[in-house]
Amino acid sequence: MSRIFSNGPNKDFVINPFSQLIEGSSRMHLAAPYFTQAEPLLKAAQRGKTIQLLIGLNVATSPQALRKIHEIPGIAIRYLTSRFHAKIFIFDKAALLGSSNLTDGGLRANREAVIRLDREEDADELEDIRALFVELWDAGQVLTSEKLALFEKAHTGLRRRTPDSEKEIEAALGQAQPLNINVASHEKSSERVFLETLRQEVYEQYRPAFSEVTAILDEHDFRRPDLADVGIANETNRFLNYVRLTHVIGDEAWQTAPLRSPDERRKEIMQYAQEWVTAANNKVPEDYASWLRTVKQAFGTREAIKAADKEQITQGLMSLHAFTEQLRFVKGGLKNLPAEFWKANDEDVDRVRTTLTYLLHGPGDFIQRFHDVLYDLSVKPKRFGYFCALELYGTINPEECPPMNGRMAKAMRFLGFDVKGA
């Protein structure tokens, strides 16, 4: 059987092995500078398969195709803007390597040269290809909603004239290149490293995992009547809280939990969800709904934060699990935590207001603001860490970021998700 495909007269279409390998694989790692074919990936994700997609943002890539698969559970998308020409399609036990892009031309119409690597003697080459993909993937940047919107705008403008498209797209989104022989290309600022790490954790780990759990709870009506007023995102938060407190006993339980396939995760989630909806003790504090109202009243708008006094800000922060988690580090426990917070921040209420306003309602990319609140000493509050910022932002803006805290992360890791546990 030939393993060379070229879209030639004998109908050796690249789409044939591509579709066959998607069907028989659970994980795919795809790299292509040009991308227009969303449907095969969308259908694969809907069947529970996991896809890492690295594409080039250029005039030949379709924003509409990207929009179809953007933020679909199971699909992680990163991009490069220049010096990216590799076409690599990796599946569970095979790879396609050659000249085909993820376009109709590459898969069906253009004359291409693609080899299928799936024989025993291909093992070393497959490992080399996987390593190359990882190198390219690490160089890519996360395609956030903001970046996709900027690309759509730039792409629309490019249709009306014949400019230097690469420069125009990089002017809109910034430059993203793979490593090459240019030594300077190996240099990354610490800020860029932190920013991309945060984007990956929020957009490729926590949000897809949280959305998967939410979809299962909603699809099977694993809902508690006593939480009807808190919203589905906060109900998912409470379900994960229940899993953590009831089944994830000790750190070893989540640290040693195996990574699971989507089908395996679904079984785990449904088992615990069935238990949770009828549990006499659902591990939800009686005043949980009141906590949420307190957070939203204090921080829900710029005007609310501006009007909040020290006591209202304190009560809002004390309604966050991630904030009160610090009590184990405070002498005297919970009752002394507010005093310790304000003492650490020099009793500067205006500065705390300014920081919280910037985090929750500031301009531009949320991840940039998240980064600044964690690492920029001119902005960063004391005793307000990673999960404090995530839980607060997610409570106010659940459509953009789930209300995550360390307890949620450990529960998701226990359920088999590949997420940072703490």
Q: Is the pLDDT of residue 186 over 60?
A: no
Q: Is the pLDDT of residue 369 over 60?
A: yes
Percentage of the chain exceeding pLDDT 90: 63
- Read off the pLDDT band of 185 (50, 70, 90): very low
- Residue 161 has what pLDDT? 57
Q: Is the pLDDT of residue 94 over 80?
A: yes
Q: Is the pLDDT of residue 95 over 80?
A: yes
- pLDDT tens figures, 2-53: 899 999 998 999 999 999 999 999 889 999 999 999 999 999 998 888 899 9
75 CA to centre of own chain: 10
Q: Compare 333 and 83 and report the one with higher pLDDT.
A: 83
Residue partners of 151: CB distance under 8 A and separation at least 6:
57, 63, 66, 169, 172, 173
Q: What is the mean pLDDT of residues 334-347?
A: 88
pTM: 0.75
- pLDDT tens figures, 106-116: 999 999 999 99
- Residue 117 has what pLDDT? 95
Distance CA 48, CA 263 (A): 7
- Residue 1 has what pLDDT? 67
Please give the single-letter amino acid code of residue 335. Answer: K
Distance CA 343, CA 323 (A): 15
> What integer best gives the mean pLDDT of the chain?
89
- 3-class secondary structure, 376: coil
8 Å CB contact between 229 and 289:
yes
Within the chain, all domains assigned CATH 3.30.870.10 are found at: 4-187
CATH topology for 4-187 is Endonuclease; Chain A (3.30.870)
Which range (153-162, 240-249, 355-364) has the least confidence? 153-162
Distance CA 264, CA 255 (A): 18
Long-range contacts from 286-295, C-beta under 8 angstroms, 24+ separation: 288/230, 288/238, 289/227, 289/229, 289/230, 291/319, 292/230, 292/234, 292/319, 292/395, 294/319, 295/319, 295/320, 295/392, 295/395, 295/396
Q: What is the mean pLDDT of residues 383-393?
A: 93
Q: Is the pLDDT of residue 83 over 60?
A: yes
- Residue 147 has what pLDDT? 92
Q: Compare 182 and 28 and report the one with higher pLDDT.
A: 28
Q: Compare 311 and 282 and report the one with higher pLDDT.
A: 311
